[in-house]
Amino acid sequence: MASDNGGKVAAIIVAAGRGTRAGTSDVPKQFRPVGGEVMLRRTLGLFAGAPEVALVQTVIHADDDALYRQAAEGFNLLPPVHGGATRQASVRAGLEALEAHAPGIVLVHDAARPFASSALIARAIQAARETGAAIPGLAVTDTIKSIDRDGFVGETLARATLRAVQTPQAFVYGPLLEAHRRAVREKRDDFTDDAAIAEWAGVKVAVFEGESGNIKITNPEDFMRAEAMPTERLGDIRTGTGIDVHAFGPGDHVVIGGIRIPHTHALTGHSDADVALHALTDALLGALADSDIGAHFPPSDPQWRGASSDRFLKFAVERVAARGGRIAHLDLTIVCEAPKIGPHRDAMRAEIARIAGIAIDRVAVKATTSERLGFTGRGEGIAAYATATVRLPGGEP
Ligand code: MG
């Protein structure tokens, strides 16, 4: 068995097909929505968000550059390459493009399987590390027969030995690239999956447990079936909370929720001390389990002195996008005796929505006093509490 040389894990997303079986539409099926999101975007999100996958190489059709740019917006991916006339040629284009990165393991996945789980991706990588080449398979429940030219049964196959095979298929990179190159040299262009090429080249291919939910969207009925998928397949829903406090000091205005409000004091802090945007930033980072604002922007770092806090929130928003996630909702509560927040509520909501790139009806701003109790009640400072709800791709099965 070939060793993976300790290199990174790469994923090739095959998205160059024309999708003619999916019914009449002006765009290929991988650019049509499935479960409320463009199919390719959902698939890219699975791999962009997989912590083990370092490189994502998409293979697209030369006509689809503009559609691709939209589908991949915000993800950290390698530049796409154009595919060939067959799936086999497209995968080879992806493999060749990855050569400069010398990956250890490569996963090959069809854009038309947007419901693979993060657990399946992890299983594929593990299986390839252990065996050199591994594919997900499911036991078949239908009896399968081969037929002859006239449509009569040739043979009834032994069901127990059969597996319906899916993607991602996972391989040690070097031998798969070599097998593809050899297929070109020997003018073989009839392989329907990468395991078949590996098998032909003499690589032993292991089978690990696939997922019944990892359906391939091929026919119009598959799009309808996808709409009925359990909600956990439509996203890994996360909630994060964030709390921040800043003390009053000398000054004539505060900045809360990105809005400048005249006041008898200012809030003290290293940046502009926007307690609301700091709490929201931590809430988003919390939803991603991605540390906190202080770790990403150390207060000891002079470059954040007086910084406008929209950049902190923008950073967290970009972290969500890089994971293929979407912000479903932001909820903020500000605790102070003064200044009055109510008159500025909608301006804050609009500003937060702008920074987060979401609709204003997904942003709530609430305010309360603490009945003159505690540090907020004594007018020593302001506290803010935030909750963020984020949908990441690839919920567990
Ligand atoms: Mg703060």
The Cα 50–Cα 66 span in angstroms is 25
| Residue 75 Cα to ligand 1 middle (Å) | 28
| Residue 137 Cα to ligand 1 middle (Å) | 50
> HSE of 142 in the Cβ direction (CA atoms, 13 Å)?
4
Q: Would you state the pLDDT for residue 302? A: 87
Of 50, 160, 162, residue with least CA distance to 109: 50
| Residue 367 Cα to ligand 1 middle (Å) | 18
| Residue 263 Cα to ligand 1 middle (Å) | 19
Of 98, 90, 92, 106, residue with least CA distance to 47: 106
Beta bridge partners, 267, equal: 248
Question: How do residues 66-76 score in pLDDT, each as one tens digit?
Answer: 999 999 988 88
Beta strands in 16-162 (DSSP E): 33-34, 37-38, 55-60, 81-82, 105-110, 133-139, 145-147, 153-156
Domains in the chain, please, with CATH?
9-233 (3.90.550.10), 236-392 (3.30.1330.50)
Assigned token pair, 9: 């894990």
If residue 278 lies in a helix (H) or strand (E), which one and from where to where?
helix 275-287
**Contact between 379 and 248 (Cβ < 8 Å):** yes
Assigned token pair, 167: 């993607």
The Cα 128–Cα 135 span in angstroms is 8
| Residue 359 Cα to ligand 1 middle (Å) | 25
Of 253, 275, 374, 268, residue with least CA distance to 334: 275
Confidence (pTM): 0.72
| Residue 300 Cα to ligand 1 middle (Å) | 13
Q: Would you state the pLDDT for residue 397? A: 44
Give the Å distances, CA to CA, from 328 to 45, 50, 186, 240, 387. Answer: 16, 20, 52, 12, 11
pLDDT below 50 — which residues of the chain?
397
Q: Would you state the pLDDT for residue 7? A: 86
What single letter denotes the amino acid at residue 333?
Answer: T
Q: Would you state the pLDDT for residue 327? A: 94
| Residue 373 Cα to ligand 1 middle (Å) | 21
The Cα 116–Cα 49 span in angstroms is 12
| Residue 362 Cα to ligand 1 middle (Å) | 23
- Helix or strand or coil: residue 316? helix
| Residue 243 Cα to ligand 1 middle (Å) | 9
| Residue 166 Cα to ligand 1 middle (Å) | 48
| Residue 201 Cα to ligand 1 middle (Å) | 59
Q: Would you state the pLDDT for residue 91? A: 98
